[in-house]
Structure 1
Amino acid sequence: MIGRIRGILIEKTPAQALVECAGLGYEVDIPYTTFFNLPENGEELVLHTHFVVREDAQSLYGFSSRLDRDLFRLLIKVNGVGPKLAAGILSGLDANQFIRCVEARDASALVKLPGVGKKTAERLLIEMADRIGQLEGQFTPGSANTTVNAGAPGAGTAAVHHPAEEAEAALIALGYKPQEASKAISRVAADGMSSQELIRLALRNMIPAS
């Protein structure tokens, strides 16, 4: 099991980071909440990771915090929730926000996430209510922060011609329909905003805080 990786960030997109470590380049799948916290290309970073091995693929998932990684590991134990869906959940809600939803039994916030229908949301609330206790010590029950993580100052963007185009592409990659993504970005767009700011504000509006 690869549980942690430290190296130099070579490239980044909202869905993946390429990290050079000991002469090897690791392609690490990341949720957007981690993308917002990535440093500039060429700088050192540490990611808490989970290695997924399947018959047809091997994937390394990375997270900026241990809490996000440990929650990811609990999510993929839920019936019907695979690694891609778990990463999608943690793209729309960081660990503290998700825990707050579970504590408040707020299914309405979960069904706003792509791939999470009513039945899946209810299953998540039931099964995760018994499991979030395994994260004890990493968060304070009842006081989870519901503010979307704005990311580190100066966090970079992928190479797309316009921030709004990149933000729309990121939402579509997460699973939102093109029309939904376009409307969400247009509602929050303002001159001078970066793609990560647009994504963050769009997700905040699409997924109400509990």
Structure 2
Amino acid sequence: MIGRLTGALLEKHPPQVLLDVQGVGYEVDVPMSTFYDLPAIGTQTTLYTHLVIREDMHLLFGFATESERRTFRQLVKISGVGARTALALLSGLSVPDLHHAVATQDSARLIRVPGIGKKTAERLLLELRDKLDLAMNNLDRAIPASIHGNDVLNALLSLGYSDREACWAVKQIPANANVTDGIRLALQLLSKER
């Protein structure tokens, strides 16, 4: 098994990169979250990897963090979810966003990822609920508990803000804010950031 690669980044063609490890070029498929964080061509980089061996090919998948790889491995264990679907999920949602969607059973967030339909989203939520080694305490700290049902987060997402922007804004809201005040404050914060 190839667990990690460190080498010079030779090429970047989404979703694949070419990594030179002591003269051997490895073609590695990466999620877009990893792709966007890669350094410039020629720079040394490290990827955590997962090797898939099939009868007709060997596929190598790379991740910037161990938590991305661990989540990928949990996803491919689910019936009907292959490596490409898992890669698409990690390209469309960050690991914390995926964990949050599973924790809140929010299938709408999963359906927004290209290639994920309603049935697949429901299967993912059902099977990942107990399997993801999600630190619920981290989630509770990330989203203030006083914002009931994550209404502020959902309102921001429906207004077209990205998951990252919406989560950032929700973290800035005081714990004692009600939903209406929370939405108003979040919109003010986001308008200053843009």
Q: TM-score, normalised by structure 1?
A: 0.66
1:204 aligns with 2:162: yes
Q: Secondary structure in 2 aligned to 1:142?
A: helix
Match of 1:126 in 2: 126
Look up the SS of the partner of 2:81 in the other structure: coil
Partner of 1:29: 29
Instruction: Quote the Cα distance in structure 1 between the aligned partners of 2:26 and 2:89.
Output: 23
- Shift of residue 144 of structure 1? 5.6
- What amino acid is aligned across from residue 15 of structure 1 in structure 2? P
Alpha-carbon distance change, 7 to 97 in structure 1, aligned in 2, over 3 angstroms = same
> How many residue pairs end up in the alignment?
150
Aligned to 1:16: 16
Structure 1 unaligned residues grouped into runs of 5+: 146-201
> 2:138 aligned to 131, 137, 140, which one?
140
Letter of the 2:8 partner, please give it: I
More helix by share: 2
Q: Deviations over 1:50-86 (max 9, x none)?
A: 0000112210000011100110000000110000000
Indicate how the Cα distance of structure 1 residues 203 and 82 shifts in structure 2: closer, same or farther if over 3 A, else same: farther
**How far, CA to CA, are the matches of 1:74 and 1:66 in structure 2?**
12
Higher relative contact order (CA 8 A, sep 6+): 1
> Residues 50 and 144 (structure 1 numbering): CA distance in 2 closer, same or farther, change over 3 Å?
farther
Q: Deviations over 1:147-204 (max 9, x none)?
A: xxxxxxxxxxxxxxxxxxxxxxxxxxxxxxxxxxxxxxxxxxxxxxxxxxxxxxx993
Identity of counterpart residues, as a percentage? Answer: 43
Contact 1:19 1:27 in 2 (8 A): yes
Give the partner amino acid of 1:84. R
1:61 aligns with 61
Q: Which amino acid aligns with 2:21?
A: C
Cα distance between partner residues in 1 of 2:103 and 2:127? 12
Cα gap change, 1:91 to 1:203, in 2 (>3 Å)? farther
Bigger Rg, structure 1 or 2: 2
Query: Given residue 7 of structure 1, which amino acid in structure 2 is its aligned partner?
Result: G
Q: Taking structure 2 as the reference length, what is the TM-score of the superposition?
A: 0.71
Runs of 4+ deviating beyond 6 Å = none
Answer whether contact 1:99 1:144 (CA < 8 A) is retained. no
For residues 142 and 49 of structure 2, the distance between their equivalents in structure 1, rounded to whole angstroms, comes to 23
